[in-house]
Every structure is written in C-alpha cells, then in structure tokens.
Amino acid sequence: MTQRPALRARRPNPLSGAGLDRLSHVRADAAALAARLDDVATVVVPLWQGKVATVGMPPRLHTATVPDLHDRAWLLGEADGTTYLAVELDDDDLASVDLPDDVRWAGLREIGANLEPLHAHLGATATALATWHRTHRFCGACGAETVSDWAGFRRHCEACGREHFPRTDPAVIMRVTFDDRILLARNPGWPAGFGSVLAGFVEPGESLEDAVAREIKEEVGLSVDDIDYHSSQPWPFPSSIMLGFTAEATGDELTLDPAEVGEAGWYTREEVRDGILALPGKVSIARHLIDDWLEDEDEDDDDD
C-alpha cells in the first residue's frame, strides 16, 4: 500500500468551515463569556427537536431573540463581528421566542446544501452540540447527572469531578476506482437503484489509511493502492467527522459482505452522468467525491 502527496478538494464541502472564530479562549473565562451573552448584538440560533429554524427560499437560518435563556446557551463563535449562540428549545420555550410566521424547522440533511456556508457551519455545530448534550447527561464513570458549563463545550460531574467534552466519531469515506471506472455501492437498507461510495468508522488503535484499506477489503473484497486524502466534512448525524479519501483498486473482482453491501458495481463516467444510479445528495462529501471524479476527465481533456 503506497501513499502519494495529498490531494485538495475542488470546493469546500457543505457544513464545513466558513470563517467562524470559535472563541475557545472565551468559554472558560466567566467575565468574557458574560459580556458576549449580554451583548445586544449577539444573536441566537434556535434548535427544536434536532432541527434549526429557517426562513425564506432558498432557506437561511433564522436568528432569534431568546429572552432569559442565556444560561442555557452554547457559544458557537464569532464571524464578521457578530457573536453567535445556540439554544435548544423545548415546547414550553416556543411561546417566549420571537419567531416569524413563516419560520420552518428543518434538518440539515434536508437544507444544508442550500444554506450559505456560514449558516451551514453554524447549524452543523449547533446540531452536533445538541445531540451530545442530550446523550451525555450522565457521567460515564460514576453515573451521576452532569451539568453543562464552558459555554456548552464541557459537562462536569459534581459527584466525582470528571470532565466530559464533546466527542466526534471519525469515519472514513472513500472513492475507489479501477481502470477509469468508479465503484458505487448501496447498503442493504437503501433503495434499489441508489449508489454511493464506501464508508466506515475508524476502529480504536487504527490509522486512517488502515481504516480505508480494511473497510474496502471487508465490504467488497478489494485490495487497494495509492490511498490519498481528499477532504473532510462535519457530519452531525449524530456526531461524526467524515474523512474523505481516494484509492485505486489492484483488481476489479468484487466479493460483497451481504450484511454491509446490498449491491455494488463498476461504472464509467458516461454511465454515472447518464443517471444509471441515483446519487447521494449534494449536502454530502460522498457526492463531492463522485463529482470531483467526473470533473477529472474534463480537466484531462483540457490538458490534451
């Protein structure tokens, strides 16, 4: 297994960084944090039932005034002089929040690709934090209930003193090619006629490159060469970071793991462009890996 110099993605992935200063130095500074929370120019990204508030078409995040809820706010960061917070609302909170009549609550899978980069990144951060707080209310060491502090980026156990920080699960996602064809596959639970690239979680004690090679071997029985890094994407569904790679197979004979792969096959650029399979939505890094491969041929033609 060899490695070549890293490749760069052609375009930023949706939900990824967009000039947001996360203000990590403010989180543990009580005075600096209070100043941000009390600043009348600070705006809040509200969440409800795992969804963000949007208005307009194309959609944009609605930033609301959320009275008396700053003690529950999470500090997302600052961009262009504006401080952004996030608050997860419950049903009772909705009555106290100033929301426009045309507000629509939407999940990032649905609208993430259509949001401007800053709003998409804010939504991804807020959604990931909301999931972490809901699923880590209790200490993993002693079982006592934890409390949120550090502006939402830590949970503290007052019983045993343990500190718990947001976790992100690393997952590799990889475009596999062979002789100018791309491997597209579908999970057994996905509808027929759909195809995407392979992906899987990184195991403890495993490098990213080893995870790429292992997942490909396990799922479709291929050995690969020339593993290259492509790009990454936050994927808060519920709490992953997708680490994109490309790899070249050493052969094209497939041996599928039926528990992981329902169908898989090799496809030319012409077949993919002609819609032989439905592809992942544009919000995903999977789609960018495929689209970049389609555009590779266009660049090669221009160089001739």
Per-residue pLDDT of the chain in tens (304 residues, 90 and over written 9):
344 434 455 678 989 877 899 999 999 999 999 998 888 888 899 999 999 999 998 899 998 776 666 678 999 999 999 999 999 998 888 877 778 889 999 999 999 999 999 999 999 999 999 999 999 999 999 999 999 999 999 999 999 999 999 999 999 999 999 999 999 999 999 999 999 999 999 999 999 999 999 999 999 999 999 999 999 999 999 999 999 999 999 999 999 999 999 999 999 999 999 999 999 999 999 999 999 999 987 555 444 4
For residue 188, whether the previous peptide bond is cis, meaning omega lies within 30 degrees of 0, is no
The CA-to-CA distance between both ends of the chain, in Å, stands at 30
Q: Beta strand 82-89 with 163-164: parallel, antiparallel or unpaired?
A: unpaired
Question: In what helix (H) or strand (E) does residue 11 lie, and over which residues does it extend?
Answer: none
State the amino acid at position 110 in one-letter form.
Answer: E
d(CA 219, CA 180): 21
User: What are the tokens at 185?
Assistant: 């596959």
Cβ neighbours of 169 (radius 10 Å): 12
Residue 103 near residue 62, CB atoms below 8 Å: yes
Report CA torsion sign: 263, 179, 283, 74. positive
Helix (H) or strand (E) holding 173: strand 169-178
3-class secondary-structure state, position 117? helix
How many angstroms separate the CA atoms of 294 and 6, rounded?
19
| pLDDT score at 11 | 74
In the structure encoding, which two tokens stand for residue 197, read together?
A: 């690239």
Answer yes or no: are the C-beta atoms of 84 and 77 closer than 8 Å: yes
What does the block give as tokens for 301?
């033609």
The stretches of the chain forming alpha helices (DSSP H) are 30-38, 108-111, 117-135, 208-220, 269-273, 285-303
Residues recorded for the chain: 304
Residue among 152, 211, 191 nearest 280 (CA) = 191
Count of other CB atoms within 10 angstroms of residue 72: 16
pTM: 0.89
Task: Give yes or no for a contact between 199 and 215, defined as CB atoms under 8 angstroms apart.
Answer: yes
